[in-house]
A and B are shown apart, each in its own frame.
Chain A
Amino acid sequence: MISNPKDRISTSETVVFITSYNIAIGILTLPRVTVEEIDSPDVWITVILGALIALTSSIIIVKLSQHFLEKTFYQYCEEIVGKLIGRALSILIIIYFLTLSALEIRVLAEVTGFYLLENTPQWAMIMPMMWIGIYLLSGGVNSLARLCEIIFPITVIIFLLVLFMSFELFEINNLRPVLGLGVIPPLKGLKTTALSYTGFEALLFLIAFMKHPGKSVKVAVMATIIPLVFYLLTVIMVIGVFSIDGVVTRTWPTIDLITSYELRGLVFERFDSLLLAVWVMQIFATFIITYFGAALGFAQLVKKNIQPFIYVLLPIVYIVAMIPKDLNDVFTLGDWIGDTAIFLFGIAPLLLLIITKLKGIKYDAKT
């Protein structure tokens, strides 16, 4: 599959690919979870610092991948640390992708079930989504990238539009004082905001598909800056409207922001369904990308074609998605996934890069 010349994606496609992966659950909950950690209006500073951490990690992944041209992590990992540890790491990453994929689809069901389709059973929302997803996946990484390319501009336009329309309720005092209690509070939320940028880990397998893998650093930078702008605007608007005392009481503060205003005299008075529509698209993208990551991992571990694995994973992901009993369990699962991500994509790649350097594995001539 990888030798197929059709499976090559351009640099800009890679950027929107990772951006779409990036923007998911976090955009709805980030203002609350960060304020819970730092209890001061300096959330926006934390969001910027988190981006720097995420960028560092993604550049480490890029540097690591560039040593092994046209190989995904699942393939080159063994070359660095040997078969046993390499396989174990790969399996961990597969489990990570699989669980994240399930979590995305579960949150999708929770949010649409609460705001849009109250009496629709969860399976009836999840299953069509998953079927459409595996249909898309049968087209390979190219169709994935194409999908992200289509939904990205729609997301940008609608998201910014509905966000800026809440400006009437915005109060700058809710964001003041800046660093009123010193630099310690903003640092407390770093883990949370850095984790909201997870998405760069797709580079572990994506660089192998790139037309110009030499440009991956540029990809990493762009794919951090775009979500940074999204997150920054979101936390500024949400906290500017709700204040830090109000935001901690809301489960999905970003949706609540859009339900806080009505614009009379326009064709639409209310815009929450528009926001939810683009959000569903973004969740779908994240779901399908992580699903792809897991399926690809399995396929490459046993060196077989990816197609059967796409189908095999379907019931597994569904069952995992259904394991959390309630919304609190869902959020707890999300926290676990986050903690795993710190190890898998923050610490492990750095160690692997050091070992690679020590072993003296050379950059591939073609990069």
Chain B
Amino acid sequence: MMQKHKNMGGFIVFLSLLFVSGCWSSIEIDERGFGVGVAFDIGEESQFKNSERAGFPKQDLVSVTYQFINPRPASQDNSAVREQKPYMNMTQTGDSIHQIVRQFAIENEHPVFMPHLKVVVISEELLSMLSLDQILDFHFRDNEVRLSSLVFVSSGKAYETMETKQNEEIPAFRLVEMTENRYRTTKLLSPVPLAKLLGKMHSGSSFLLQNVDSANGEAKLSGAAVINGKTNKCQGFFNEEELEGYTWLTGDIEGGVVKTFDEETDQIVIFEVDSVGNTITSTVDGNKISFDVNIESEGRLSESWINSEEPIDNESIKRIQKEIEEKVAQLITGVLEKMQKEYEVDVAGFGEHLRINHPRVWEKIKDDWDQTFRDVPITLNVTITIAEYGSMIID
């Protein structure tokens, strides 16, 4: 028995040598095409389309632009090398995302390798034609795509957001880094990674996605796209001011400023947000639903153009507080108007509030909540406290 056992061990070692070869599925790192960003547009004919041989059965439905990292040679002194951009954009057209992705393999020496994908940009045009489910299905299924990629909508061509004139920058990384500036502005949404998008897409509620604009070869985060929860398609836009109203309404603010004009002096005053507290209370009375939104914010007077001959005293601080309150209320009313009257969708989470606080009522009304929401009365109460005035003292 013992002898037999030893032989068995030897046999296993022999077999292991044959079959357990370290890295079965290995591909060298310099043979990977690291995709870091992807842009979806309405299909345009690709450059090879005209030649007979290139044609494969497809419609020109979607154009997919991938941004690859361009590995640069080590010697940085060579001026020719320095002019080379650190990224390459490649576009393919077709009617299935995966087929398009695989098409890169016959037009590029390195097929797309997606675990390092950071950004997904979808053009508004495409998103009003196809739904998020259709466009992103491949990304949600594929094993290479990580759910940490951030999702944006572009008001113009999506591939233009993947361009920059700066030679040192990679546009996809730039977009990601810009979303981290929420502590400085109220005009940014919290970034939405694919992971968060999943729940939003399948909940049936409408939501917002950060919008990207591109002009003169530079991308800018500007406003938000309204995604209808029923269709998962783009329904419209919030401009920057409306987005500001939205972040105030939801209280989802890390920092930023509010500008208004002092009535008495007609000069600019700026309030810098330190903290925002937002409470929503709902009243359900039979079939009647109403909301009270209470917003309290504390911060500092960070800039004032009011003439120094007219010193700022406690009286005028109270007046300025009131003016800021009015300004914030005006921002919020503007966006509420747009939500309830123009787009007829609830993207600010009032439905979510009902789901949590009145679950049984929500079960009954959730299917046509957006229609109900249209006529729901919302009362607003904004309290602004100016707690300090920066390094300048007042009388």
- Seen from chain A, the residues whose Cβ lies within 8 Å of a Cβ on chain B are 114-115, 117-120, 124, 127-128, 131, 135, 138, 169, 173-174, 176-177, 180-181, 241-250, 256-257, 259-262, 270, 272, 307, 311
> Is there an interface contact between A260 and B25, defined as CB atoms closer than 8 Å?
no
Question: Is B284 located at the chain interface by the 8 A CB criterion?
Answer: no
> Is there an interface contact between B356 and A180, defined as CB atoms closer than 8 Å?
yes
Q: Count B interface residues, CB 8 Å.
A: 34
Question: Is B359 located at the chain interface by the 8 A CB criterion?
Answer: yes
- B332-375 CB mask vs A (1 if < 8 Å, else 0) is 00000000000000000000100111011001000000000000
> Is there an interface contact between B24 and A120, defined as CB atoms closer than 8 Å?
yes
- Distance in angstroms between the alpha carbons of A115 and B193 in the assembled complex: 20
Question: Is B1 located at the chain interface by the 8 A CB criterion?
Answer: yes
Q: Which of B111-149 contact A (CB under 8 A)?
A: 140, 143, 146-148
Q: Which of B1-56 contact A (CB under 8 A)?
A: 1, 5, 8-9, 12, 15-16, 19-20, 24-25
Selected interface stretch from B155-163, B181-189, B197-205, B382-390: B197-205
- Distance in angstroms between the alpha carbons of A249 and B12 in the assembled complex: 41
- Distance in angstroms between the alpha carbons of A245 and B229 in the assembled complex: 13
Knowing A120-B24, A173-B352, the reply to whether A260 touches B195 (Cβ < 8 A) is yes
Question: Is B196 located at the chain interface by the 8 A CB criterion?
Answer: yes
Q: Which residues of B contact A169 (CB under 8 A)?
A: 193, 195-196
Q: Knowing that A177-B359, A256-B195 are A-B contacts, what are 20 other residue pairs whose CB atoms are under 8 Å apart, sorted by A's residue number? A: A114-B143, A117-B24, A118-B25, A124-B19, A128-B19, A169-B193, A174-B199, A177-B356, A181-B359, A241-B196, A242-B195, A243-B203, A245-B199, A246-B201, A247-B199, A248-B202, A259-B146, A260-B146, A260-B148, A311-B8
> Is there an interface contact between A124 and B148, defined as CB atoms closer than 8 Å?
no
- Distance in angstroms between the alpha carbons of A131 and B200 in the assembled complex: 46
> Is there an interface contact between A260 and B24, defined as CB atoms closer than 8 Å?
no
* Sample (18) of A-B pairs whose CB atoms are under 8 Å apart: A114-B143, A117-B24, A124-B24, A127-B19, A128-B19, A131-B16, A169-B195, A177-B355, A177-B357, A180-B356, A246-B196, A246-B200, A246-B201, A248-B202, A250-B198, A256-B147, A270-B146, A307-B1
Among residues of A, the one whose C-beta sits closest to the C-beta of B13 is A131
> Is there an interface contact between B356 and A243, defined as CB atoms closer than 8 Å?
no
> Is there an interface contact between A181 and B352, defined as CB atoms closer than 8 Å?
no
- B167-199 CB mask vs A (1 if < 8 Å, else 0) is 000000000000000000000000001111011
CB of A249 to closest CB in B, whole Å: 6
> Is there an interface contact between A181 and B202, defined as CB atoms closer than 8 Å?
no
> Is there an interface contact between B143 and A181, defined as CB atoms closer than 8 Å?
no
Q: Which residues of A contact B199 (CB under 8 A)?
A: 174, 242-247
Q: Which residues of B contact A138 (CB under 8 A)?
A: 5
Q: Which residues of B contact A256 (CB under 8 A)?
A: 147, 195
- Distance in angstroms between the alpha carbons of A117 and B359 in the assembled complex: 44
Q: Which residues of A contact B359 (CB under 8 A)?
A: 177, 180-181
Q: Which residues of B contact A245 (CB under 8 A)?
A: 198-204
> Is there an interface contact between A176 and B147, defined as CB atoms closer than 8 Å?
no
CB of A35 to closest CB in B, whole Å: 11
Q: Which residues of B contact A244 (CB under 8 A)?
A: 199
> Is there an interface contact between A260 and B147, defined as CB atoms closer than 8 Å?
yes
Among residues of A, the one whose C-beta sits closest to the C-beta of B25 is A119
